Structure 1
Amino acid sequence: MSDQAERLAQLYDQLVERLYKVRLEVEKTSEELDIDKEIERLVETEEELERVTREEAALLSQWMKRDLKDLRSHLASTEKGVKEWLAQETSMLSEQFMHWLRQVADPSLVDARTLQEDLDSREDPTLYHAGELAMAGLFACANCGKEIEVSYTHRLEPCHRCEERIFIRKTLDIQA
């Protein structure tokens, strides 16, 4: 992974951590947290501090919103957990990171109407594109089906088999 991609992946994880801390602070008050606006605020701060360019800030914001939207959708529609969404053993990930992710994306913390609007407005929530950052998980090439396992936040590369640039996140099918 290039230095820029590695830097963005680390920043992505740090932003998820900060989002979790903000949610904890808001939880102490009677206010509601607008996750999308908070992501924008956190990313804008990074841009103001000149840690990212305007283009990088836009990408980070888009990727975080996409991943959290996808996780909320998965939790709401399947009643399965983060482990199934990631399609890998959660032991591969930091326990603290998993905790932050669960807390930020817990659909019970999101207004039901907003969640439904998010779900209704999505064109295709399963698509990931080469060049985008994605959280750890298992992805399948939309063209040839080759599976690519990503063990940490990472920039997706084109399929090594067919050069396709579109991927679908795979989830574990755990029988109860």
Structure 2
Amino acid sequence: MTDSGNKAPLDRLTEAYEKMLEQVHDAYEVTRESALPGLKEYLSDAREKVVELGELTREEADKVAGYIERDIKDAAHYLHDTGEQISTWWRFDLHQVEERIAETFSKVADQTRLELGKLAKRAEQASTYHTGEITGPGTLVCTNCGKQMHFRKAGHIPPCPGCRRTEFKRSEE
């Protein structure tokens, strides 16, 4: 196992989120045909790579891949439905987000907007986020008390600082 084995589990998962998202973006840049099936394949390849390199267990890699897929679908759903920019989905200025993750995430979300828009149209409810999961940049709102949590980079979702509940949605304001 690499030196990442010495890091706290949440730090490893957060770093893996950013690394897998970057790998998905790099693979997507190579070929842009058939975006939705390709995106799933690229995410699967990125997941396999971190497992093969011993950076994450299969279970951890599956979790992180699920988080990335959820965030991309949520962003694409928002972009498709509103026509807004990714910075509006995040609810704060792009310069506040770490430049590398913002650029990578923006390209993946924007490039797949049309393809994922078809899937997003079918989904009537926005994605639900839970304490303990990893999320990308943006603002989450507690479904119980409405308290907002702002994520400027990928990170784990803690319990609500207002009521200690564990379920969140993306901000719609």
| TM-score, with length taken from structure 1 | 0.84
Would you say how many aligned residue pairs link Structure 1 and Structure 2? Answer: 165
Residue 76 (1) aligns with residue 80 (2): yes
Q: What TM-score do the two structures reach when normalised by structure 2?
A: 0.85
Q: 2:41 aligns with which of 4, 19, 37?
A: 37
Percent sequence identity is: 24
Q: Distance in 1 between matches of 2:117 and 2:162?
A: 36
Deviates more, 1:65-74 or 1:135-144: 135-144
Q: Which residue of 2 aligns with 1:24?
A: 29
Q: Give me the whole-angstrom Cα distance separating, in 1, the residues matched to 2:135 and 2:90.
A: 10
Instruction: Look up the match of 1:4.
Output: 9
Which blocks of at least 5 consecutive residues in structure 1 are unaligned?
A: none
Deviations 1:84-118 (A, max 9, x none): 111112111133332222221125x5664x63134
Mapping for residues 120-159 of structure 1, pairs under 5 Å: 120=122, 122=123, 124-159=125-160
Q: Tell me by how many angstroms 1:160 deviates.
A: 2.5
The alpha carbon displacement at 1:123 in A equals 5.9
Give the Å deviation of 1:47: 1.0
What is the identity, as a one-letter code, of the residue corresponding to 1:18? Q
Instruction: In structure 2, give the amino acid aligned to 1:167.
Output: F
Distance 1:138 1:110, change over 3 A: closer
Give the corresponding residue for 2:118.
Answer: 116
User: How far off its partner does 1:45 sit?
Assistant: 1.4
DSSP-derived class of the 2:170 partner: strand
Gaps in structure 2 of 5+ consecutive residues: 1-6
Gap change, CA 1:140 and 1:61, over 3 Å in 2 = same
C-alpha RMSD over aligned residues: 2.0
1:125 maps to amino acid: A
Change in Cα spacing, 1:14 to 1:131, as seen in structure 2 (3 Å) is same
